[in-house]
Homo-oligomer: A and B are copies of this chain.
Amino acid sequence: MTKQTIQCPIERTLKQISGKWKSVIIFRLLEHPRCRFNELQKLIPECSRRMLALQLKELEHDGLISKTVYPVVPPKTEYSLTERGKKLKPVIEGLQEWGRIN
Contacts and interface: CB of A to CB of B under 8 A. Distances in A.
Nearest to A46: B6
Contacts of A10: 23-24, 27, 92, 95-96, 99
Contacts of A72: none
Given A18-B14, A91-B91, A94-B90, A9 B99 contact: yes
A84 interface: yes
A23 B15 CA distance: 11
Given A9-B98, A10-B24, A91-B91, 10 more contacts: A5-B46, A10-B27, A11-B24, A11-B99, A12-B99, A13-B95, A13-B98, A13-B102, A14-B23, A84-B102
